[in-house]
Structure 1
Amino acid sequence: MYDRYQGLIFDMDGTLLDTEEGHRKAWSEVLAKYDMELDLEKVIALNGSPSWKIAEFVINSYQVDMDPYKLAQEKFDIVEEMVLDMVKPLPIVEVVKSYYGKRPMAVGTGSMHGFAERLLQHVGLKDYFMAIVGADDVQHHKPAPDTFLLCAQLMKVTPDSCIVFEDAPFGLQAAKAAGMDAVDVRYL
């Protein structure tokens, strides 16, 4: 079905892996210390963003003087164990398995690189990918195209010959900005 593409790029959270429950639980625990909570309906628009962007949104909505990077780090310090306990592969993994060895594939995620590697290793998917690009690998995050452009570069394929699998509006915008076709996995 995707044979005409030279490279396949997958978002991780919400596309390859169901990590939402673990992330939500970690945010709830951290924010409760400051008498704040995550407004899931408003934050959904930030899906695919690095944690510091979500922290910045929460801080701004509560109009408090906090460092978003520090708050994001607090969440990061507890999220890995929670996510590892709850993570489940999503159906798009079948596409990964069917194209393994046939096309270069990469993961382009708003999660930190090391965290993405550990999660993919945990579910047995890390070796399927030629490259992993995390939030700490690029200066400009989704909806900027940098994540996906770096994936294409690392796979040694042109951006216009890639397809991106995404579940978030920022990621879909990033794919378009990179000149790549995209599949919104929420509608598969």
Structure 2
Amino acid sequence: MNEIKLMIFDLDGTIIDSADANYNAYHDALKEIGIDLTREFFNINCFNGQHYKQFLPMLIPDEKEEIIEKVHNRKQEIYKNNLKNINTHPYILEIINNNKGIKKLALATTAGKVAVENVLKNINMENIFDLIITGDDVIKRKPNPEVFLKCINYFNVLPKESVIFEDSDTGIEAAKYTGAWVIKIEKWAY
């Protein structure tokens, strides 16, 4: 293994366990317009690295853009109010803290910028990363590797000098495509 110069971390499912908070926020926002979101549908279609513009049209009749945006904005409100219920992964935090100032640290996530800022502030990590790339900064989402390649290119390092920490199948696929080392974060058990 070459010397690792860059460590790239996904957010949801890797640094934080936000599955329940995301599900509850989408469930409540959709319930307000009379749509029941099941946990099974959410797990299969929503919380696997997909953007809301990809899965909300499956639930909202006639795929009306204004309703999709209204639901997403309401979800963001509910989610922000429930951030106190989000847990961080202690072992990932240990890796980050042990490498801060030694290696370049990047956050690469499909989550939107505002949501990422709110989460990082809530978990006291807003000044940890040398670079943050969000879903708002890319054109193509995972499994496209754009979010990870932006990090690698920004620091002008070789993919083999980078390691990506990721949990979702779509994220793993994107990470592998870069040529970087990939560490899959399995279900949380500690």
Q: Which amino acid aligns with 1:186?
A: E
Give the Cα separation in 1 of the matches to 2:163 and 2:127.
Answer: 20
Change in CA separation of 1:33 and 1:48 when aligned onto 2, cut-off 3 Å: same
Change in CA separation of 1:80 and 1:143 when aligned onto 2, cut-off 3 Å: same
SS of 1:128's partner is coil
Question: Which residue is equivalent to 2:17?
Answer: 18
Q: What are the residue-to-residue correspondences of 1:3-152 with 2, within 5 Å?
A: 4-45=3-44, 46=46, 47-59=48-60, 64-67=62-65, 68-82=68-82, 84-91=83-90, 92-152=92-152
Give the Cα separation in 1 of the matches to 2:187 and 2:21.
Answer: 23
In the TM superposition, residue 53 of structure 1 has moved relative to its aligned partner by 2.3
Task: Could you tell me which runs of 5 or more consecutive residues in structure 1 were left unpaired when the two chains were aligned.
Answer: none
Give the Cα separation in 2 of the matches to 1:90 and 1:56.
Answer: 32
Change in CA separation of 1:65 and 1:127 when aligned onto 2, cut-off 3 Å: closer
**Contact 2:57 / 2:63 at 8 angstroms: preserved in 1?**
no
Q: Which amino acid aligns with 2:142?
A: K
Q: Which amino acid aligns with 1:168?
A: S
| Sequence identity (%) | 26
Which TM-score applies when normalising by structure 2?
0.85
Change in CA separation of 1:88 and 1:161 when aligned onto 2, cut-off 3 Å: same
**Contact 1:11 / 1:109 at 8 angstroms: preserved in 2?**
yes
**Contact 1:51 / 1:111 at 8 angstroms: preserved in 2?**
no
Name which of structure 1's ranges 148-157 and 26-35 shifts more when overlaid on structure 2: 148-157
Q: 4+ residue runs of structure 1 moved beyond 4 angstroms?
A: none
Give the Cα separation in 1 of the matches to 2:41 and 2:182.
Answer: 24
Task: Could you tell me which runs of 5 or more consecutive residues in structure 2 were left unpaired when the two chains were aligned.
Answer: none
Change in CA separation of 1:125 and 1:156 when aligned onto 2, cut-off 3 Å: farther
Q: Which amino acid aligns with 2:116?
A: A
SS of 1:127's partner is coil
Give the Cα separation in 1 of the matches to 2:74 and 2:18.
Answer: 18
Which TM-score applies when normalising by structure 1?
0.86
SS of 2:182's partner is strand
- Could you report, residue by residue, the CA deviation over 1:117-173 in whole angstroms, capped at 9, with x for unpaired residues? 221122122222101111111010111001111122233323332111111001001
Name which of structure 1's ranges 32-41 and 107-116 shifts more when overlaid on structure 2: 32-41
Give the Cα separation in 1 of the matches to 2:139 and 2:15.
Answer: 23
Give the Cα separation in 2 of the matches to 1:14 and 1:157.
Answer: 26
Change in CA separation of 1:145 and 1:22 when aligned onto 2, cut-off 3 Å: same
